[in-house]
């Protein structure tokens, strides 16, 4: 049964909190992961972090559109970035700050250590879009958002645009 969870938006304090590590992969954790995948797919996101659906846990998922159908969706528990290399600029958006996008500079190559849903230790070497999504979601788990990764003037413009969008939405009649 699919279950779409409620997305937490910019301004919600849980998005600014460093998440707690998962101690044991219980049925509850498995259910949460499955609901996170449903939620990500419903919103057509490339990835989703647990605190974006209100859960203070170090878990993120990455869409099979990014990792490929045979490998995906990717479930990452208790991640740790063990190496980064290079720099690249790519456009990013976020399900928690809908409607705004920005060019963000991040590492091009990432080595990620994590635990999978079976409880196995894994190391993943990523580049391209996958590296980008990993870095974005990893940031979420530490309480950072993509707008923290742009210069101050750009950030101010993005936040103003986001707030204006919300005001415009409020004034609209939806039936």
The catalytic residues are 137
Strand partners for 62:
47, 74
Residue 165's φ and ψ, nearest 5 degrees, are -60, -40
Closer by beta carbon to Co ion, 25 or else 129: 129
Q: Which residue is nearest to Co ion (CB)?
A: 94
Closer by beta carbon to Co ion, 26 or else 103: 103
Site size toward Co ion (CB under 5 A) is 1
Closer by beta carbon to Co ion, 59 or else 94: 94
We find the least distance from the C-beta atom of residue 48 to Co ion, in angstroms, to be 8
Distance CA 114, CA 82 (A): 10
- Residue 14, C-beta contacts closer than 8 angstroms, at least 6 positions apart: 8, 51, 54, 56
We find the least distance from the C-beta atom of residue 109 to Co ion, in angstroms, to be 21
Nearest to 74 by CA among 12, 25, 137: 137
Q: Is residue 133 involved in binding Co ion (CB under 5 A)?
A: no
We find the least distance from the C-beta atom of residue 121 to Co ion, in angstroms, to be 26
DSSP 8-state secondary structure symbol assigned to residue 17: S
The interface with Co ion within residues 64-123 (CB under 5 A) comprises: 94
Nearest to 102 by CA among 117, 87, 89: 89
We find the least distance from the C-beta atom of residue 141 to Co ion, in angstroms, to be 11
Binding site for Co ion (CB under 5 A): 94
């Amino acid at each position: 049964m699919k279950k779409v969870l409620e997305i937490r938006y910019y301004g919600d304090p849980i998005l600014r909190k460093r998440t707690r590590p998962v101690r044991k992969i219980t049925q509850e954790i498995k259910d949460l992961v499955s609901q996170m995948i449903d939620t990500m797919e419903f919103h057509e996101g490339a990835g989703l972090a647990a605190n974006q659906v209100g859960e203070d846990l170090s878990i993120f998922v990455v869409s099979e559109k990014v990792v490929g159908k045979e490998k995906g969706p990717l479930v990452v528990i208790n991640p740790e970035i063990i190496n980064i290399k290079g720099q690249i600029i790519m456009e990013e958006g976020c399900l928690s700050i809908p409607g705004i996008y920005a060019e963000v500079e991040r590492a091009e190559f990432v080595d990620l250590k994590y635990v999978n849903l079976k409880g196995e230790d894994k190391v993943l070497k990523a580049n391209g879009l996958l590296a980008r999504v990993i870095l974005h979601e990893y940031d979420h788990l530490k309480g950072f958002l993509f707008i923290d990764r742009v210069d101050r003037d750009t950030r101010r413009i993005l936040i103003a645009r986001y707030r204006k969008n919300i005001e415009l939405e409020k004034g609209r009649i939806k039936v």
